[in-house]
Copies of this chain bind each other. A is one copy, B any other.
């Protein structure tokens, strides 16, 4: 019999903090806190397994009811109250909690167990009639929304949701009574409101609000489970790459109340500052409130203590002042938890009539900078070791630090139009838009936008994703916008209350000025400053702590990193970023961009001439340019390997299109311009990606390979003469058969001997290998490896061929493919583990079987994607190569993969 229910409370628990997969993060941590002796309201967790079974069968497992009854009995015993008892009723909350935190994406129902039977008892016990009726109307509102409407699959029009309709009733009553806020409602008002709510619910949803505690409980549990497949949750999972199969746990826990008057409160805290990493206890709280009031961002919360007050909340009383004893107890709990978890925690607590209860602890989300600072601090404090330091900064957080900051010099003279809370650090500029839908739309059209909202809610997730930055007028550092933005390392400012936002009119007003949709703003998310202009950005990578961190990273990184670069500038930059060689030097780069006119002209001449003899003459002219270009890079990388890929693109890419260029070539070749056009057209292809390119050019025009090989080897020979240590690697692209490698090798061997003779030297150290980018090359990798000393996976092309996706043409369907979850991720961003990954694994295995010391690397763009780097490590790669700016990410991902010891 599967055990589904895990009890906790009174200093013991059946689960513990390690059981996140089974109990969800929240449930595991509640158990852990109970074990640590912290004041956790008693309750129990129904496991994720139960959720999965429930989803599959549409019904609860047979044994669940008995388990829940037993757990409820224990909870009643610990709390010394009874669920449904008219005298002293126990109320419970039902909260979702998955393996990984999905903030606000799933449902919660509070105050379960409150019925017409139990209301009098609770009033008697609390002596607070208003509180009880307020709780009751909250239960009806939440239950109607979550359990009766959403979980039952109703899909009302916008504004017709039951939640909105009940809000309407409240607003109407406020108007009738002339009240300005919810707190003005009397107990009698709330009682009347509850009745009106129940009538409305029956009218709209066709069912009575249930008046039986057990019915409420079981329906609430079901609604929590069902919320796993709610629209928002599914959309969030898609973005975060969370599998649909995990499910959520349901935590049923005794209710405690932060809204039982002025001796009650509720709050959220971080054991260190989540934006900066500073080792200060940091949080927000509200007196006489329930938990959702803090995170909803409707009221600006109070600061936790005096030392962390900021401009927005310095006028409000801190918990430290207000309840010094409780605060002291909370500080002790903070210390206990940090010691136990050895990481920064994000806590939720409630104070019920001066008594502290811990409702949640979890590892706190943080900015990249905070992650770095905390990791380095904790390392210094002796809390964590080297390897743990490396795992404490995610590649995404590192990426965030590599993102630009607003240039402080420019900020000095720029006018701050508004200030808010620095919820997501870094800087960003963009055009302002006022709805999530528009953010997505503009983003799709290639624009950079800043999403401006009164406050955000989970429905805004996709727009937040699309925006460069997020700016809200309301909410605190723990508001939805702040949490989500921080999780993604996105620049974000919240609670900029001066902004008057008119979302319908698509404009905002501040300090008498009006800004419209499309105006450019710049945000400094590290300070919380808003500018109505585009300010210059600067590099954040010069932080010395980052350098120290990267040094620790490199100590634990067995896999090498190289870079894809060709220009002296990029090559030097990459070396500075830690490149241990060049994994991809595209010989054709010299025909593009600055200084390319002459070489490109010669290349065109070579392409458009008619005979091998003419071609050889053109190649002879081209030779010194190519050699020079290659030598520059070899010089900078002296002593480090440089992989030169022979000519890759189809020749048609280079033919002249403008009449002047055509004329110039025609004159040089002494042919007419029509012949130039005709020859150019003859080179055109239906599917150039699978056309006459790469090694296929070398097979049909061996003189081209010969010239390139000679350039590489002569450049190296000159350096050898100068007592330097060039380490060129000759890489043959687009191979699909070992005979191509044999063919190209003959040229290399011949030219090598000629170069040795010419320069009167004994040897040049070089390697000969191939790019593996055609599926067939993977399938026959054993044979390829007989003739190649190294493989470098070209995962861009390999992904194209394996999926049959032309990267230039996926625009028409990749969006729907991701939206419909046909593909979990864009395979051009992260290596597809099943298809492309399967080919790679096969190729590594076969290649090493026939040549045990085969060197293996990757030079596709995946080399700079953290998840793909982990994959490469697990496959046993010797190195990954990526663009210079991605090198730190690759280094970190590689070290983390090694520490986590992944093996596929």
Residues of A within 8 A of B (CB): 685-692, 696, 699-700, 734, 736-737, 739-740, 743, 773-776, 779-780, 783, 797, 800-806, 808-809, 812-813, 816-817, 820-823, 832, 834-836, 838-839
Known A-B contacts A696-B813, A743-B822, A779-B838; A774 and B737 likewise in contact (beta carbons under 8 Å): no
Given A736-B804, A775-B802, A776-B836: 15 more A-B contacts, CB < 8 Å: A685-B806, A687-B687, A687-B809, A690-B805, A690-B809, A692-B812, A699-B813, A699-B816, A700-B813, A739-B820, A739-B823, A740-B822, A774-B804, A780-B834, A801-B804
**How distant is the Cα of A690 from the Cα of B821 in the complex, in angstroms?**
20
In this complex, what residue of B is CB-closest to A799?
B776
Question: Cβ of B737 and Cβ of A822 under 8 Å apart?
Answer: yes
Which residues of the partner chain B approach A823 to less than 8 Å between Cβ atoms? 737, 739
Name A834's contact: one of B689, B696, B779, B836 (CB within 8 Å): B779
**How far is the CB of A823 from the nearest CB of chain B, in Å?**
7
| Most chain B beta carbons < 10 A, residue from A690, A691, A774, A800 | A690
Interface CB pairs A-B, < 8 A, 21:
A687-B809, A689-B804, A690-B806, A690-B809, A691-B812, A696-B812, A696-B817, A699-B817, A700-B812, A700-B813, A734-B804, A737-B822, A737-B823, A739-B821, A739-B823, A775-B801, A776-B802, A776-B803, A776-B834, A779-B802, A779-B835
Question: Cβ of A808 and Cβ of B839 under 8 Å apart?
Answer: no
**How far is the CB of A402 from the nearest CB of chain B, in Å?**
32
**How far is the CB of A783 from the nearest CB of chain B, in Å?**
8
Name A802's contact: one of B687, B801, B809, B822 (CB within 8 Å): B801
**How distant is the Cα of A71 from the Cα of B832 in the complex, in angstroms?**
65
**How distant is the Cα of A816 from the Cα of B612 in the complex, in angstroms?**
15
Name A685's contact: one of B775, B779, B809 (CB within 8 Å): B809
In this complex, what residue of B is CB-closest to A822?
B739
Which residues of the partner chain B approach A737 to less than 8 Å between Cβ atoms? 822-823
Which residues of the partner chain B approach A689 to less than 8 Å between Cβ atoms? 686-687, 690, 804, 806
Question: Cβ of A692 and Cβ of B813 under 8 Å apart?
Answer: yes
In this complex, what residue of B is CB-closest to A834?
B780
**How far is the CB of A885 from the nearest CB of chain B, in Å?**
27
Name A699's contact: one of B736, B797, B822 (CB within 8 Å): B822
**How distant is the Cα of A643 from the Cα of B688 in the complex, in angstroms?**
32
Which residues of the partner chain B approach A691 to less than 8 Å between Cβ atoms? 806, 809, 812
**How distant is the Cα of A682 from the Cα of B18 in the complex, in angstroms?**
53
Question: Cβ of B687 and Cβ of A808 under 8 Å apart?
Answer: yes
Secondary structure dominating the interface of A: helix
In this complex, what residue of B is CB-closest to A815?
B700
| Most chain B beta carbons < 10 A, residue from A736, A773, A816 | A736
Question: Cβ of A736 and Cβ of B803 under 8 Å apart?
Answer: yes
Question: Cβ of A686 and Cβ of B806 under 8 Å apart?
Answer: yes
Which residues of the partner chain B approach A736 to less than 8 Å between Cβ atoms? 802-805, 835
Name A776's contact: one of B685, B817, B835 (CB within 8 Å): B835
**How distant is the Cα of A669 from the Cα of B205 in the complex, in angstroms?**
44
Question: Cβ of B780 and Cβ of A835 under 8 Å apart?
Answer: yes
**How far is the CB of A466 from the nearest CB of chain B, in Å?**
20
Question: Cβ of B700 and Cβ of A839 under 8 Å apart?
Answer: no
**How distant is the Cα of A204 from the Cα of B689 in the complex, in angstroms?**
53
**How far is the CB of A843 from the nearest CB of chain B, in Å?**
12
In this complex, what residue of B is CB-closest to A737?
B822
**How distant is the Cα of A774 from the Cα of B800 in the complex, in angstroms?**
10
**How far is the CB of A118 from the nearest CB of chain B, in Å?**
46
**How distant is the Cα of A685 from the Cα of B812 in the complex, in angstroms?**
10
**How distant is the Cα of A823 from the Cα of B742 in the complex, in angstroms?**
12
Question: Cβ of B688 and Cβ of A809 under 8 Å apart?
Answer: yes
In this complex, what residue of B is CB-closest to A805?
B690
**How distant is the Cα of A390 from the Cα of B691 in the complex, in angstroms?**
42
**How far is the CB of A805 from the nearest CB of chain B, in Å?**
6
Which residues of the partner chain B approach A805 to less than 8 Å between Cβ atoms? 690, 736
**How far is the CB of A831 from the nearest CB of chain B, in Å?**
12
Which residues of the partner chain B approach A773 to less than 8 Å between Cβ atoms? 804
In this complex, what residue of B is CB-closest to A773?
B804
In this complex, what residue of B is CB-closest to A780?
B834
In this complex, what residue of B is CB-closest to A813?
B696
**How far is the CB of A828 from the nearest CB of chain B, in Å?**
12
In this complex, what residue of B is CB-closest to A741?
B822
**How distant is the Cα of A699 from the Cα of B812 in the complex, in angstroms?**
11
**How far is the CB of A50 from the nearest CB of chain B, in Å?**
26
**How distant is the Cα of A699 from the Cα of B802 in the complex, in angstroms?**
19
Question: Cβ of A804 and Cβ of B797 under 8 Å apart?
Answer: yes
**How far is the CB of A798 from the nearest CB of chain B, in Å?**
9
**How distant is the Cα of A677 from the Cα of B836 in the complex, in angstroms?**
37
**How far is the CB of A742 from the nearest CB of chain B, in Å?**
8
Which residues of the partner chain B approach A801 to less than 8 Å between Cβ atoms? 690, 775, 801-802, 804
**How far is the CB of A641 from the nearest CB of chain B, in Å?**
26
Question: Cβ of A820 and Cβ of B692 under 8 Å apart?
Answer: no
Instruction: Report, nearest first, the 8 A-B pairs whose CB atoms are least far apart.
Output: A776-B835, A687-B806, A690-B806, A692-B812, A691-B809, A686-B808, A739-B822, A774-B804
Which residues of the partner chain B approach A813 to less than 8 Å between Cβ atoms? 692, 696, 699-700
**How distant is the Cα of A691 from the Cα of B688 in the complex, in angstroms?**
13
Known A-B contacts A737-B823, A822-B699; A686 and B802 likewise in contact (beta carbons under 8 Å): no
**How far is the CB of A649 from the nearest CB of chain B, in Å?**
13
Known A-B contacts A687-B806, A689-B690, A690-B689; A775 and B839 likewise in contact (beta carbons under 8 Å): yes
Question: Cβ of B700 and Cβ of A804 under 8 Å apart?
Answer: no
In this complex, what residue of B is CB-closest to A816?
B700
**How distant is the Cα of A806 from the Cα of B774 in the complex, in angstroms?**
13
